[in-house]
Structure formats: structure tokens, C-alpha cells
Amino acid sequence: MKKVTQTIIYLTEIIMVTLSIITLYSKFETGSWFEWKNDLLTLNFLSNFGIVLAVYQLIIYSTSTLIDSAKIDALIKIHSLVKSLILFIDIDERLVCIQNEIEGLLSKDSYYMFEKEDFKMLQDINQYISDYQEEQLTKQGLLLNLKYKQIEIEHFKEFYQLQWRNSIVLRYLK
């Protein structure tokens, strides 16, 4: 049922936005808001509808792809840090170099486009390391927390690749 609902919402969005743009264009071209109604179901209307739809979809696709790519880039960096930490813990290597890297990322003077949630995730990981070094967290507890973060990051990376994210309304509702 959700698939049908999402499809209806998506089609409604496309139709409403496209007709709104055609209505605005009609007002500027002819002086009448609904002049396009006279051409309804003609080749001229279908051509205008197709062009507006294509431009709208191109704008939405490119914008959402850029926004989501920035989020995925940040998640990839955090994911690599988590995987490095798990490796270092498995071979009993010191965690100072990774902790320094995390602290550098938390300084907000980073190449990556971190958002509030990303900073929270980095702070959590940094706190896990501190707790482990102060022996408030066991090796098993640290590994458990890091592997859980890894699952969480993988979920978000997959989430940002879903196709419904190319709809403004569905993005807002989810």
C-alpha cells in the first residue's frame, strides 16, 4: 500500500508543479493564467508539459544528487574511521592517531561537509575511545559500540541512495 501511496504522491507532485509552471508561463505569454486550458490534450500542450517536466526533473535530480552526495561523502569518511578503529582494536594498536584525526574533524575546519548528525556521530566515537582509554569501557564494549555505529552508517549510506529522494514532497514527508 505504501508503494501505491508514494506513487500517487509523486505523480501528484509532478502534475501540480508542471501545471503551475505552465500556468505562470501562460500568464507571461498571453496575459491569461489559464490560456493553456484551450490547448489541453493537443500536441502543443503535451510538448510544453514534457519540456517543463523534463526541466523540473533535471533540477530536482541534480540538486538532490549533490545534496545527498555531500552527506554520503561525510558518512564514507566516518565509516572508514570506524573500520580503522575496529582494525586497530583487533591488533591491539594504539588509537591516538585516529582519535587525533577525529578531533581534527570535530574542529569544523574540515574538507568534509559534516552536518549536525555527523558531528554527533564523531563525538560519540571520540567519547567511546576516551572511555576505553580511561578503562570505563571494555574492549568488547568498544567493539560493540563501533560495530553498531558501522551498521547505523551503512543504513544511512543506503538511505541516501533511494530513488524516492528525487521527490521534494516525499523527501519532506520521510
Number of structural domains the chain divides into: 1
**The C-alpha cell that represents 111 in the structure block:** 574538507
How many CA atoms within 13 Å lie on the side-chain side of 167? 18
What letter would DSSP give residue 169? H
Q: pLDDT 10s digit of each residue in the chain, 174 long?
A: 778 888 888 888 888 998 888 888 888 877 778 777 777 777 888 888 889 999 999 998 888 888 888 889 999 999 999 999 999 999 988 888 999 989 888 886 767 788 889 999 999 999 999 999 999 999 999 999 999 999 999 998 888 877 666 777 767 666
What is this structure's pTM?
0.76
Query: The domain containing residue 162 runs over which residues?
Result: 2-173
φ, ψ of residue 5 in degrees (nearest 5): -60, -45
